[in-house]
Structure 1
């Protein structure tokens, strides 16, 4: 792929500059709380192989992605699962207006699916953040690379420019997870 992004804000004709996609490297164990979510709401975890694995990045799609990321970040009050549910980890829709990182990501995926983006191209992803802690984001896989929707920032960045270590993401081939091999990025993420 030509035209690799050299800066987070680089764009061409209303779409981000292309970057290489994140490479999967085999099966990975799903987070326990994701398995619990799948038991409670199986539709959140189903993979429809008829849907495309990536979407074409258009100016309209880019605008929609950025708007949904920003809107959800403003709408939801960030609280830990311990404070919210009294448990260490729970993945759920933030229907009461509160949630932590994976809840933000689930709502973003839901809103983008309602806008017509194939669910299969949007995968929940687990990373190690700038504080060396586990963090969940939503990765959208496009023909211009993989982009991250994150509750820590309103900017939607190529996966390789977030500063995170990529651990695993949902599989696009079956209900399950795939390893990202601890792929590291060079940029340090902003603390928020």
Structure 2
């Protein structure tokens, strides 16, 4: 293209000398414009991919979803700011989808960071996504992204909701166990039958009401 542009410049200069009209080389100018746009787009692809590749190495417990989410939203905003002519390009569409999927996956990761999540819930997630991995200290964001979480947002939400309810139930059962384990019962004989029965105390009634 540079060679053709040099030829164009020479022709235009010669035409000016001889006062001859020549075409305005619209196609060549459009080609140069698109090349500049394409370079800008690919440069941004590299920025986004580099950031995500760096995030992928982050250990599970150190994932800063909030910051990653902010960065992804900035990526999305910058992508939308590109020339509208780019929006039909495969590279543009691919980059936009990468960022969208990452945002969706990060929402799922946020859900999965809930302390109510237990080993059994990770196993349920593996069944739902049909991807197996070992959940331990060495687990990274890359392992979670391999689950294609952006395709299983509803499943993740259901599993997390279930885990929260289970955790709440476990808490109630533990409190009941603690309460009744220390509860001392008094006995008395039934005045008519003489059978030993539990004496109803005010503390017992309050506990049962609670």
| TM-score normalised per structure 2 | 0.20
Q: Which has the higher contact order (CA 8 A, sep 6+)?
A: 1
Structure with the largest fraction of strand: 1
Give me the TM-score of the superposition, normalised by structure 1. 0.21
Higher normalized helix content (fraction of residues): 2
Larger Rg: 2
